Every structure is written in structure tokens, then in C-alpha cells.
């Protein structure tokens, strides 16, 4: 099985990112966003969060595109990826600033539907990113094919465990399409391709590292013969590693993650995590702003923009193609 899948649309270099950060005047904190009253077109991005390195990398790509296309971009998200109401408030505030377009990564794929309708009534094009919404309003969705990426994680779990034994899944949420697809894609592939690999527990901990560690400890203590755990995002995966280390189980079971970030790449280099799926967060941010600009200019955009994914482990983590889509 090839370890490289779906070449990312955009690979932004560190030098470009530094130029962007120096040149772009976008504010990054919630409540510190400009309005849409100036001469420069304004795109408001409302993310699932802001604290994870993944979202910082998405912002980097958005800033890069903003500079290239001559638009103003703001990027904000709630403190944690469980604060649906806070995110909806941010989305309403963004709409009230009369942006030329909005990018939105939904924490809850249904809860934002009324605000999608409001954006449409105001004539504000919406680009969904990272995770879609249950609405026809967004002109496109820029994201990883999370179902296929999760299935790829399952392929490696089967290979590394020998296809038998007990495994568990630690998800980050049950409300977003991303959270749902990264679990179902993995589970469906395991059930179809490895009937002797028993999934004994599927739990959710909001993508928070400490809560994920506690959940993983509970799973491990209840299943001392577990042979593998899959964590569906950065917080979940690093939480699993933390639990494995604290319980003295390092090296005894296969840990597979999703996303990257320094904690995960360190865990892979140290042999604590077998490998992970990395998205192309810089590409997600870039393509979201590019699609928003196209939409505000009345141009056609594809219904879906696949930003790509890769499997990475200790063998290929330093390859140029992989290193370009990892973030720290």
C-alpha cells in the first residue's frame, strides 16, 4: 500500500509564511476583527478552534492567500472545540460586520443551518472548510476526505496489529462531519477487512488532550489486553500517548493518530506512536480564501475542494513531501 495519498493543492513554505505574518494586518483573537466597511474586500473565517497547532497552520494558509489575492482576512474560533454556542455567536458577529464572504468550519453540522440561511439572505457567499454543514448554502467545502483518510489509518492498524485482537477508538466529537467521518471511516474499514480485530470501545473527549488522556486510561484499564488505539485528531492522539506513557504501556500496543503537531511528530520519532494521518492545513486555509474570493467575484467554484492527506511514520517523516505538510 502506498503511503502517499491525494497530493495537497497548496504547499506553503516557511519563508512565505514569515512574509505573510509580517505583511498581513489581520487580527487573530476573537472580538478583535475589523468590519467590512473599507475598500479592501473582507473575508471572515470562523474556525472550530484556535489553540491547536492545526488551526494555526490553517490560519497561515489563509493569510498567505489573503496577501496573494489582496483581501483582508480575520480568523477566530472558540477556546475549545466543544463550544458550539460560542462559535455560533462568533458566526453571527462575523455576519453583522458585513463581510464580502465567510469561511466556516462547523463544530455542529446542524446547529449553524439558520445562520447559513441568514448569510444567503444577505448575499454573503459561504465557504465551508475542514468540516461541512447540513445545508446547501456553502458554495463549496474545502476539506480532507476524512472517510478515506480514516480508512487509511485502519489499513495501517490492521497491518501493524496483524489483523487480530482488541482495539479502541478515541474520537474528538460526534457533532461535526469531521468527527463523525473519522470514526465511521475507520470502523467500517476494520469491520469489512479485519473481522478478527474487535473494536471494544469508541469514546469521545472533545479533542482535549487531558480529557482524552483520562478517557484513554479508562479504556486501557478496562481492557488490559488491548493491542491498539486510534485517536481522531491532534488532541485525542496526544492524549492517548500521554495515557500509554503514564500507565507504563509504551511499546505494548499500536497507537495511530490523525493530524500532526510537534507532540505527535515527537511521539512518532520516539516510537510512542506508530504513525498518523496528516492533512494539509496550510492548503485548507489557502484554498478556503481562494474559493471565497472566487465566489465573491461571481466565479464558479467546484462543489468540493479536496485538500489531501498523507500517512506518515518514522520511515517517511523526514521525506520532503511529508515534511511540507507537517506543522509544529
Phi, psi of 154 (to 5 degrees): -65, -40
* Backbone dihedral region for residue 130 (phi beyond 0: left; psi -120 to 50: alpha; all else: beta): left
What is the spatial distance between Cα 281 and Cα 285, in angstroms, rounded to a whole number? 6
Beta strand 275-279 pairing with 309-313? antiparallel
In percent, the amount of the chain with pLDDT more than 90 equals 83
**Per residue in 143-166, pLDDT tens?**
999 999 999 999 999 999 999 999
- In this structure, are residues 64 and 285 in contact, taking their beta carbons and an 8 Å threshold? yes
Stretch 253-263: mean pLDDT = 95
pLDDT at position 65: 98
pLDDT at position 32: 39
pLDDT above 80 for 25 = no
Min mean pLDDT across 30-44, 104-118, 143-157, 209-223 is at 30-44
Classify domain 146-279 at the CATH topology level: Rossmann fold (3.40.50)
pLDDT at position 35: 55
pLDDT at position 51: 78
pLDDT above 80 for 31 = no
**Per residue in 267-317, pLDDT tens?**
999 999 999 999 999 999 999 999 999 999 999 999 999 999 999 999 999
What is the spatial distance between Cα 144 and Cα 287, in angstroms, rounded to a whole number? 12
What is the spatial distance between Cα 326 and Cα 244, in angstroms, rounded to a whole number? 23
What is the spatial distance between Cα 97 and Cα 157, in angstroms, rounded to a whole number? 46
pLDDT above 50 for 139 = yes
In percent, the amount of the chain with pLDDT more than 70 equals 88
What is the spatial distance between Cα 106 and Cα 173, in angstroms, rounded to a whole number? 12
pLDDT band, very low/low/confident/very high, at 327 (cuts 50, 70, 90): confident
Query: Residues of CATH 3.40.50.2300 domain(s) within the chain?
Result: 4-144+281-308, 146-279
**DSSP 8-state class, residue 176:** S
The DSSP element (H or E) to which 15 belongs, if any, is: helix 14-23
Stretch 95-111: mean pLDDT = 96
pLDDT band, very low/low/confident/very high, at 33 (cuts 50, 70, 90): very low
The C-alpha cell 475507520 sits at 186
Min mean pLDDT across 16-30, 67-81, 288-302, 307-321 is at 16-30
Stretch 60-74: mean pLDDT = 97
Classify domain 4-144+281-308 at the CATH topology level: Rossmann fold (3.40.50)
Amino acid at each position: 500500500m502506498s503511503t502517499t495519498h491525494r497530493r495537497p493543492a497548496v504547499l506553503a513554505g516557511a519563508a512565505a509564511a514569515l512574509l505573510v505574518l509580517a505583511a498581513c494586518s489581520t487580527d487573530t483573537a476573537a472580538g478583535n476583527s475589523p468590519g467590512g466597511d473599507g475598500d479592501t474586500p473582507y473575508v471572515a473565517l470562523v474556525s472550530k478552534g484556535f489553540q491547536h497547532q492545526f488551526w494555526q497552520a490553517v490560519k497561515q494558509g489563509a493569510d498567505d492567500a489573503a496577501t496573494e489575492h489582496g483581501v483582508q482576512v480575520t480568523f477566530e474560533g472558540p477556546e475549545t472545540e466543544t463550544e458550539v454556542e460560542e462559535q455560533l455567536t462568533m458566526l453571527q458577529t462575523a455576519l453583522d460586520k458585513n463581510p464580502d464572504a465567510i469561511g466556516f468550519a462547523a463544530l455542529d453540522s446542524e446547529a449553524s443551518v439558520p445562520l447559513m440561511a441568514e448569510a444567503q439572505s444577505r448575499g454573503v457567499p459561504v465557504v465551508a472548510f475542514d468540516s461541512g454543514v447540513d445545508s446547501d448554502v456553502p458554495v463549496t467545502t474545502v476539506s480532507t476526505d476524512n472517510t478515506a483518510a480514516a480508512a487509511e489509518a485502519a489499513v495501517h492498524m490492521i497491518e501493524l496489529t496483524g489483523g487480530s485482537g482488541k482495539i479502541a477508538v478515541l474520537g474528538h466529537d460526534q457533532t461535526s462531519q469531521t468527527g463523525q467521518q473519522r470514526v465511521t471511516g475507520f470502523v467500517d474499514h476494520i469491520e469489512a477487512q479485519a473481522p478478527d480485530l474487535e473494536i471494544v470501545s469508541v469514546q469521545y473527549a472533545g479533542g482535549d488532550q487531558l480529557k482524552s488522556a483520562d478517557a484513554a486510561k479508562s479504556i486501557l484499564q478496562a481492557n488490559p489486553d488491548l493491542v491498539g488505539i486510534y485517536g481522531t485528531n491532534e488532541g485525542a492522539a496526544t492524549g492517548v500517548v500521554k495515557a500509554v506513557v503514564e500507565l507504563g504501556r509504551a511499546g505494548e500496543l499500536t497507537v495511530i493518530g490523525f493530524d500532526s503537531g510537534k507532540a505527535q511528530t515527537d511521539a512518532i520519532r520516539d516510537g510512542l506512536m506508530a504513525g498518523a494521518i496528516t492533512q494539509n492545513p496550510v492548503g485548507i486555509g489557502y484554498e478556503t480564501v481562494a474559493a471565497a474570493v472566487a465566489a465573491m467575484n461571481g466565479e464558479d467554484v467546484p462543489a468540493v475542494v479536496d485538500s489531501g492527506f498523507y500517512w506518515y511514520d518514522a520511515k517517511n517523516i523526514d521525506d520532503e513531501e511529508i515534511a511540507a505538510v507537517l506543522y509544529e
